[in-house]
């Protein structure tokens, strides 16, 4: 299953090799979720701004093809002033995240607004694939974040 995951959403330079290695395993049964790997559809994108000096948080929703809201998740990236990523996370409970954002907006702590998915994608691909090193805390979610940004 790990090799199939790398083949579907891993770094581009390793996908073919991972796919060949997985194919070479023969009769190893597939994990029940393998068929959905990489088969996601982008949804709504949001811009959350907490203040002029706090930067932006970009939230992009995704769903698995044909699964309705099951497996809905989001990529959330906090960008500091100058578009430097300071946080990259995959969110499993999107309704709770957006509910908290709306509560903060009602308390006038932030602004939440829809954002063009293509513009978000271009912005995220620039910062996630750049040459500048990212904070260490960003790396666990980075491969999946890059894959999801490539779909926008």
Q: How many residues does the chain have?
A: 152
pLDDT for 97? 94
Tens digit of each residue's pLDDT, the chain (152 residues):
778 888 887 777 888 898 889 888 888 888 888 877 778 999 999 999 987 667 899 999 999 988 877 889 999 999 998 888 999 999 999 999 999 999 999 998 899 999 999 999 999 999 999 888 899 999 999 989 999 999 99
Structure tokens at 36: 């959905």
The predicted structure's pLDDT at residue 48:
95
Q: Residue 33 has what pLDDT?
A: 80
Q: What pLDDT sits at residue 141?
A: 92
What does the pLDDT read at residue 119? 96
Query: For residue 60, what are the CA distances in angstroms to 19, 25, 97, 108, 137?
Result: 28, 35, 11, 22, 19
Which among 32, 82, 22 is positioned nearest to 55, based on CA atoms? 82
pLDDT of amino acid 113: 96
User: How far, in Å, CA of 66 to CA of 23, rounded?
Assistant: 26
Strands across the sheet containing 73-80: 84-91, 73-80, 55-64, 40-51, 111-114
The pLDDT, as a whole number, for residue 111 is: 93
pLDDT confidence of residue 130: 87
Q: What is the pTM of this model?
A: 0.84
Q: Please report, for the chain, the start and end positions of each structural domain, with discontinuous segments joined by +.
A: 1-38, 39-150
Q: Name 112's Cβ contacts closer than 8 Å, sequence gap at least 6.
A: 46, 47, 48, 98, 101, 102, 104, 105
């Amino acid at each position: 299953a790990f090799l199939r995951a790398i083949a579907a959403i891993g770094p581009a330079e390793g996908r073919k090799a991972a796919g060949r290695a997985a194919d070479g395993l023969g009769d190893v049964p597939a994990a029940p979720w393998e068929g959905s790997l990489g088969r996601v559809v982008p949804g709504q994108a949001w811009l959350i701004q907490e203040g002029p000096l706090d930067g932006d948080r970009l939230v992009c929703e995704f769903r698995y093809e044909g699964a309705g809201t099951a497996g809905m998740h989001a990529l959330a990236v906090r960008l500091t002033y100058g578009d430097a990523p300071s946080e990259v996370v995959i969110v499993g409970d999107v309704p709770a995240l957006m509910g908290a954002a709306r509560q903060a907006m009602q308390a006038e702590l932030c602004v939440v607004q829809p954002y063009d998915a293509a513009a978000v994608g271009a912005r995220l691909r620039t910062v996630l694939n750049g040459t500048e090193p990212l904070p260490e805390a960003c790396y666990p979610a980075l491969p999946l974040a890059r894959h999801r940004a490539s779909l926008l």
